[in-house]
Amino acid sequence: MASSAAEPVLIVSPRYADEVASAVVSSGMVARIERRPDNAGDRLASEPVRLVVVDARGALAQGLVVARDIGKAVELRRGAMLVLLSRTDASATRAAHDAGATAVLVSPFGNDSFGSALRLAQRNAQRLSDAAAALLEAPDAEVVRHDLLTGLATGDQLQLWLAMLVGLTERPQPVFVIVIGVGRFAQINAAYGREVADRVLSSVAQRLSHIVDARNHGATAAEARLLARLAAAEFAVGVAGPIVLGDVTRLANALVEAFDAPFMIGSHVIHLSGRAGIASHDVSMPGSSDDAGTAEDEAAAVIRRASAALASARTGDAGSVEVFQADPAGDPLTRLADLESDLHRAIDAGDIRLLFQPQLALMGERISGVEALVRWQHPELGRLPAETLLETAASAELAIKLGRHIRSRAIAAAAGWTGSLGRLKLSLNVTAADLADPGFAAALEAALAESGLQRNRLMLEVTEGALIEDMHGAVRLLEGLRVSGIKVALDDFGTGYSSLAWMARLPIDVIKLDRSFTLGLSASERERVVVETVITLSKRLGLMVIAEGVEDDAQLNAARSAGCDAVQGYHVALPMNETELADFCSNWSPDALLV
């Protein structure tokens, strides 16, 4: 379908249909209104549209259900779906994308912002149509069998391929599936937008393809492998032939190790993580089944078991690989879903642990501050990494509640410290969801007033990604906090845009160099010059510089020589609880640096 200035747009909005319709018309398109969400599917089927706006403002659950219900139809039509969210529901951006949204827009927004988002969705739909047309013109076109973005097989094609192999009755051989989950993709999508996110996924597909192809070169003719894209940020590899679990596990480890190196997307340096789950059709393997019904049923079951293993891997550190095991205690997918309700209870019961990592001021060799870190000791799954905690909070729409809970507890703890601890500055991380929370400043003020913590002892750490999501609103909020005496730090500098202009324009007091930048201080001459230039410019602007990830004497000395004000990392101290922190500070000596 050719793009047109008068392209029709279907609006599904029970509350603000007229407002959205007006914005659509202002964008030069034709509005088609459906006020009844439960009628959205039928209306879409009867309308020749490829652009859909689902208005979930004030009706988040209902809006996500609608998006999920019609998402497949929009995708088959090679269209695009824009989901509108209330500001208080900004943390549900990932859920909206999972439901099928092509783009998400968080209120408040004007007609210009809405029009830009709608035109971007229109261009995306046109790109998909053009790509599909090109594939159809190819002599070996298999549009249904290939993912248009990455060129890989689709999940449906993988299932058909597995069913064919599972159904073989002569010389049956093991059939394995590896499902790979891409960590931090939701944050990248929210921070940099769908266009960059699409390019990230294409780069991930290329890197995984290289590994699978390289392994294929050494495989026997009897072995077969197929790489597919299952969902927005999930990939899978089907493996069949005369192989054993050890071979597949080594392949899975190689695939997740592919995420160790950052992805270069234009001017962006993107850091992702990978985890994997493995399952098998081989009836001699734990967790396999020989009574799943048809070959198609068993193929679907193998993929589901591998996804369940991935769900278990997500509760571990980045790079984890899990093999599916039949568990009488319940399905790992169900257990992981239960994490959301477990997190509700953990927050209410105060079971989220706070740890504090000391920061060393290089002038005077004294401990000057701490960064508050969060850990979750799950009663059944053990200690879960911070990434799992934050992802669970986002999917359960608990990100704002969790952030307030952590800040309130950390501020209360620091306010009660005495002696040498009473002079330490407290650094707290602030996420994009926190900045989008209209009650953020009031909650922070309440915590400070209740605890009595001096404002000059508090520093808020924000990342570039968190600022990008709503730059104007975030800057206004942070400026107000700085005026009140609270310090602001730009965290993880070196992992996002890392534009030098940001240091002059943003309301910040401190630059925290990411570990990758810190490593550059003791790396090649070119890398060292770049990092030293950033430090020099920061100092000229009156900004304090803290080097993160310092792990040995060489990095510590390089940070000192380059002019950093402070360092943080395992060479100084590991994260610790309040009792350990008190002992550490009372016994502090530069000679006690960790080796």
What is the topology classification, in CATH, of domain 144-326?
Answer: Alpha-Beta Plaits (3.30.70)
Residue 293 pLDDT grade (very low, low, confident, very high; cuts 50, 70, 90): low
Distance separating alpha carbons of residues 521 and 292, to the nearest angstrom: 57
Question: What is residue 337's predicted lDDT score, i.e. its pLDDT?
Answer: 57
For the stretch 444-489, pLDDT in tens is 999 999 999 999 999 999 987 677 656 788 888 999 999 999 999 9
Query: Among 537, 548, 439, which Cα is nearest to 489's?
Result: 548
Least confident span in 115-129, 158-172, 390-404: 158-172
Q: What is the CA radius of gyration of the chain?
A: 26
Q: Mean per-residue pLDDT for 492-509?
A: 72
> What's the rounded mean pLDDT across residues 112-137?
67
Q: Is the pLDDT of residue 25 over 80?
A: yes
Cβ-proximal residues to 84 (8 Å cutoff; 6+ apart), any chain: 13, 20, 53, 54, 55, 56, 57, 63, 104, 105, 106, 107
Residue 288: band (very low, low, confident or very high) from pLDDT cuts 50, 70, 90 = very low
Task: Judge residue 382's burial from the number of C-beta atoms within 10 Å of its C-beta, 0-12 exposed, 13-18 middle, 19 or more buried.
Answer: exposed
In a 3-state reduction of DSSP, which class is residue 233? coil
The pLDDT value recorded for residue 576 is 92
What number does CATH give the domain 8-137? 3.40.50.2300
Give the pLDDT confidence score for residue 343 in this predicted structure. Answer: 85
Predicted confidence (pLDDT) per residue in 130-189, tens digit? 654 443 344 333 433 578 888 888 888 888 888 877 765 444 567 899 999 998 887 777
pLDDT at 370: 96
CB atoms within 10 A of CB 341: 10
What does pTM read for this prediction? 0.52
> How much of the chain exceeds pLDDT 90, in percent?
28
Using CA atoms, how far apart are residues 15 and 19, in angstroms rounded to an integer?
A: 9
Q: Taking a C-beta distance cutoff of 8 angstroms, is the pair 545, 526 a contact? A: no
In 35-97, DSSP assigns E strands to 51-55, 80-85
Q: What is the 8-class DSSP label of residue 540? A: H
Architecture of the 357-372+399-587 domain: Alpha-Beta Barrel (3.20)
Torsion of CA 480, 483, 484, 489, to 10 degrees: 80
Tell the residue number behind the tokens 């360092």, with chain if given. Answer: 567
Distances (CA, A) of 252 to 40, 79, 233, 335: 41, 34, 16, 23
Domain ranges in the chain? Answer: 8-137, 144-326, 357-372+399-587
pLDDT at 307: 86
pLDDT digit string (tens) for 434-452? Answer: 888 889 999 999 999 999 9
Q: Do domains 144-326 and 357-372+399-587 have the same CATH topology?
A: no
Q: What percent of the chain has pLDDT over 70?
A: 84
